[in-house]
A and B are shown apart, each in its own frame.
Chain A
Amino acid sequence: MSREKNGFIDSFTNQEYKYGFVTDIEMETAPRGLNEDIIRFISSRKAEPDFLLDFRLKAYKKWLTMKEPRWAHLRFPEIDYQDIIYYAAPKRKPALSSLDEVDPDLLETFNKLGISLEEQKRLTGVAVDAVFDSVSVKTTFRKTLEKHGIIFCSFSDAVRDYPDLVKKYMGSVVPYGDNYFAALNSAVFSDGSFCYIPKGVRCPVELSTYFRINTAGTGQFERTLIIADEGSYVSYMEGCTAPMRDENQLHAAIVEIIALKDATVKYSTVQNWYPGDREGKGGIYNFVTKRGMCKGSNSRISWTQVETGSAITWKYPSCVLFGDNSVGEFYSVAVTNNHQQADTGSKMIHIGKNTRSTIISKGISAGFSNNSYRGLVRISKRATGSRNFSQCDSLLLGDRCGAHTFPSVNVENSSSVMEHEATTSKISDDQLFYCNQRGIDTESAIGLIVNGYAREVLKQLPMEFAVEAQKLLSISLEGSVG
């Protein structure tokens, strides 16, 4: 390694996190810690029906019996679950009917994040649900969507307005006792997004949720529930940011997707939670459970994720391919820099006949970071004629970072096919020199190479997101991209 390159890597690992500001706004918070009273407090604050309180309490009791998972390739100190604030909401009640009633500081926050909630700026055909700490502040485009019978609202509103749908599907893909963090979320979740696409409807706009953690000492526990009824289609995007803080903040979310017969759901995430500083101080602990159920035949669920943020990422967006001929896809780019750690991948559980799944994972590690792919492909006895293709590539920048692959495969019938490919590569000095000699500086050259490397995944993103994701990739690794 030449000295210049080391110097360069040092300089770009020093990049500023651009979303690290704090909004000064009056909040109502629950006292620190977790017990039954806190859960009742959250539930009553949200005037929830009994079934939901029951669900929460069952989850809490289950959680008490569970152990925090430590099998991932991650190192982090003991988390004190009694030192977390489980509920925080802006004091001034947000209203859904008019933007005028939303706190101007909140609007400003989302404007700074480049997310416009204002009517006249919503030209891009993206409906937005913005979640600030624990509460959804504003869902846009609601009227247009209602015309098609599409329900897109905060989780709390869904509980109030569509309790039957919530009751039927909540926990049907990720049961409250699924894992430690899912149980915690099920006990204390605050808000999130809800979406229902009726039979045969193709959602005319991209739906998107932006999550923002603001208050210090809070955890964010949101839930997303997406139901695509027979023959429907929806593309859903999720983005997240948080202020820079020296302490670690916990984010434990759940996303559940149900695709009925012939339905398609595309779920895209650009995750940019605060990753901590250069020395690895602060940052979000991101323990997320995302799972989709291809319930009906010919249904399809596609996960695309660009993971650049968080001090720790622990997530495995998965598909249960229950319906015959159903399709599950997972496209991922995970970037780790400085002292970030990511353990991410996917599970594809083939149950129906002739089901197909694809996993494309691109890990990029720089600095002192660790980046692991963890995957499970299971093709059950019943799932005859099924196929999986997995490709896991790792790209290393510098020689102080790590890349790891933990694939696990289990094929229980003989008519199914499973393919797995894996590569590890480095950006070489010769490649950078070649670019330099053509007039491209090292920073742009790395941007070019990294974006080329991730192209297969980036092209899966909706247009509105792809540009943002490209920029983010370059920002998290360096200055700008050509």
Chain B
Amino acid sequence: MLSIKNLHVSIAGKEILKGLSLEVREGEVHAIMGPNGTGKSTLASVIVGREDFHVDSGEIMYKGRDLMGLSVEERALEGIFLGFQYPVEIPGVSMTSFLRTAVNEHRKYRGLDPLTGAEFLALMEERKELIEIHSDLTNRSVNEGFSGGEKKRNEIFQMAMLQPALAILDETDSGLDIDALKVVANGVNRLRTPGNATVVITHYQRLLEYIIPDFVHVLYDGRIIKSGGKELALELEEKGYEWLKLQES
């Protein structure tokens, strides 16, 4: 589904990703771990098309198409979703009208009629049910005044509404208490199908107890220096990243 080959990315003349390759197939869950500032969020941003970053070389193929020619919203409409590490607040715009616009844009893209107000509300209820979120966050402005945990839960809720083919969750587990962590993990698991894929970026092995990854990758200094099964996460937790770095050299 997603195929990244030898990707070099820079921002403001500084190289961040230095020859990164990653292969994600349908139905898979991948975890990306790695120290602060090594380029995990950068990778996510480049996949969804943030244009502050400059792709110097390499390629990103998604469902057999080169992503480079697509705008941010086209990539989103093609089924790529990013759960933001730092979701932005949009005062005055209610979650309901925001999501209704988003859902209807997705429907339009697929040649479907827009949902009426009633249909949309029913869909929201159904998806809240599915991922067991029982809050009234949808009555408020987008992320405005949300606590850190609420913002993360809200990302998962949006994911449930849009049901993306490829979801990239950037530290969606950070700052969550154990109950919220379960909600997020539960959401990801419920939304998992043989046809979609998830990439979770995390610092904690803990999340991977709830979301069982097929692969764990270590991103270090702009490259994936090691990949393995879920046991790699445990090993990392125990030995730290220096161990890998030493092993590499």
User: In the complex, which residues of chain B have a beta carbon less than 8 angstroms from the beta carbon of A433?
Assistant: 50, 72, 88
Q: How far apart sit A425 and B52, CA to CA, in the bound complex (Å)?
A: 22
Least CB separation from A436: chain B residue: B72
Pick the residue among A2, A431, A439, A453 that contacts B73 (CB under 8 A).
Answer: A439
User: In the complex, which residues of chain B have a beta carbon less than 8 angstroms from the beta carbon of A439?
Assistant: 73, 76-77, 102, 105-106, 109, 162
Judging by beta carbons under 8 Å apart, are B93 and A428 in contact? no
Judging by beta carbons under 8 Å apart, are A425 and B105 in contact? no
Judging by beta carbons under 8 Å apart, are A434 and B73 in contact? no
Tally chain A residues at the interface, Cβ within 8 Å.
22
Q: Give the contact stretch, choosing among A94-102, A210-218, A318-326, A444-452.
A: A444-452
Judging by beta carbons under 8 Å apart, are B101 and A437 in contact? no
Judging by beta carbons under 8 Å apart, are A434 and B93 in contact? no
Judging by beta carbons under 8 Å apart, are B102 and A438 in contact? yes
Closest beta carbon of chain A to B123's beta carbon, Å: 15
Q: How large is the interface on B (under 10, 10 to 19, 20 to 34, 35 or more residues)?
A: 20 to 34
Closest beta carbon of chain A to B62's beta carbon, Å: 15
Number of cross-chain contacts by CB at 8 Å: 77
Judging by beta carbons under 8 Å apart, are A438 and B158 in contact? yes
B7 interface contact, C-beta 8 A = no
Judging by beta carbons under 8 Å apart, are A452 and B72 in contact? no
Q: How far apart sit A482 and B93, CA to CA, in the bound complex (Å)?
A: 12
Judging by beta carbons under 8 Å apart, are A440 and B73 in contact? yes
User: In the complex, which residues of chain A have a beta carbon less than 8 angstroms from the beta carbon of B162?
Assistant: 438-439
Pick the residue among B76, B94, B141 that contacts A436 (CB under 8 A).
Answer: B76
Judging by beta carbons under 8 Å apart, are B101 and A440 in contact? yes
Given the interface pairs A2-B51, A425-B91, A437-B82, the reply to whether A444 lies near B72 with Cβ below 8 Å is no
Closest beta carbon of chain B to A463's beta carbon, Å: 15
Within 8 A of B (CB), among A155-207: none
Closest beta carbon of chain A to B247's beta carbon, Å: 36
B121 interface contact, C-beta 8 A = no
* B45-73 near A? 1/0 per residue, CB < 8 Å: 00010111000000000000000000111
Judging by beta carbons under 8 Å apart, are A430 and B92 in contact? no
Closest beta carbon of chain B to A103's beta carbon, Å: 41
Q: From DSSP, what is the main secondary structure of chain A's interface residues?
A: helix
Q: How far apart sit A482 and B51, CA to CA, in the bound complex (Å)?
A: 24
Least CB separation from A438: chain B residue: B102
* A455-482 near B? 1/0 per residue, CB < 8 Å: 1000000000000000000000000001
B84 interface contact, C-beta 8 A = yes
Closest beta carbon of chain A to B147's beta carbon, Å: 18
Judging by beta carbons under 8 Å apart, are A444 and B105 in contact? yes
Least CB separation from A430: chain B residue: B88
Judging by beta carbons under 8 Å apart, are B101 and A434 in contact? no
B11 interface contact, C-beta 8 A = no
Judging by beta carbons under 8 Å apart, are B92 and A431 in contact? no
Closest beta carbon of chain A to B28's beta carbon, Å: 22
B90 interface contact, C-beta 8 A = yes
Q: How far apart sit A384 and B50, CA to CA, in the bound complex (Å)?
A: 57
Given the interface pairs A431-B88, A438-B162, A439-B109, the reply to whether A452 lies near B73 with Cβ below 8 Å is no
B243 interface contact, C-beta 8 A = no
User: In the complex, which residues of chain B have a beta carbon less than 8 angstroms from the beta carbon of A441?
Assistant: 71, 73, 105
A419 interface contact, C-beta 8 A = no
Within 8 A of A (CB), among B108-145: 109, 141-142
Interface centre among B73, B81, B87, B99 (most CB of A within 10 A): B73
Judging by beta carbons under 8 Å apart, are A448 and B98 in contact? yes
User: In the complex, which residues of chain A have a beta carbon less than 8 angstroms from the beta carbon of B93?
Assistant: 448-449, 452
Least CB separation from A4: chain B residue: B51
Given the interface pairs A436-B76, A439-B162, the reply to whether A452 lies near B106 with Cβ below 8 Å is no
Q: How far apart sit A336 and B82, CA to CA, in the bound complex (Å)?
A: 35
Closest beta carbon of chain B to A358's beta carbon, Å: 18
Least CB separation from A3: chain B residue: B51
Judging by beta carbons under 8 Å apart, are B52 and A2 in contact? yes
User: In the complex, which residues of chain B have a beta carbon less than 8 angstroms from the beta carbon of A453?
Assistant: 91-92
Least CB separation from B107: chain A residue: A439
Closest beta carbon of chain B to A77's beta carbon, Å: 37
Judging by beta carbons under 8 Å apart, are B51 and A452 in contact? no
B104 interface contact, C-beta 8 A = yes
Given the interface pairs A2-B52, A433-B50, A452-B97, the reply to whether A438 lies near B76 with Cβ below 8 Å is yes
User: In the complex, which residues of chain B have a beta carbon less than 8 angstroms from the beta carbon of A448?
Assistant: 93, 97-98, 101
Q: How far apart sit A4 and B99, CA to CA, in the bound complex (Å)?
A: 24
Q: How far apart sit A86 and B81, CA to CA, in the bound complex (Å)?
A: 61
Pick the residue among B48, B76, B92 that contacts A452 (CB under 8 A).
Answer: B92
Pick the residue among B51, B76, B100, B109 that contacts A437 (CB under 8 A).
Answer: B76
User: In the complex, which residues of chain A have a beta carbon less than 8 angstroms from the beta carbon of B72?
Assistant: 433, 436-437
User: In the complex, which residues of chain A have a beta carbon less than 8 angstroms from the beta carbon of B50?
Assistant: 433
Given the interface pairs A433-B50, A439-B73, A449-B93, the reply to whether A428 lies near B88 with Cβ below 8 Å is yes
User: In the complex, which residues of chain B have a beta carbon less than 8 angstroms from the beta carbon of A437?
Assistant: 48, 72-73, 76, 81-82, 84
Closest beta carbon of chain A to B77's beta carbon, Å: 5
Interface centre among A425, A433, A449 (most CB of B within 10 A): A433
Judging by beta carbons under 8 Å apart, are B88 and A434 in contact? yes
Given the interface pairs A448-B93, A449-B90, A482-B101, the reply to whether A436 lies near B71 with Cβ below 8 Å is yes
Q: How far apart sit A435 and B142, CA to CA, in the bound complex (Å)?
A: 10
Interface centre among B51, B82, B91, B158 (most CB of A within 10 A): B91
Q: 26 A-B pairs, CB-CB below 8 angstroms?
A: A430-B88, A431-B88, A433-B50, A433-B88, A434-B84, A434-B88, A434-B142, A435-B98, A436-B71, A437-B73, A437-B81, A438-B98, A438-B105, A439-B76, A439-B77, A444-B105, A448-B101, A449-B90, A452-B92, A452-B93, A452-B94, A453-B92, A455-B92, A482-B97, A482-B104, A482-B105
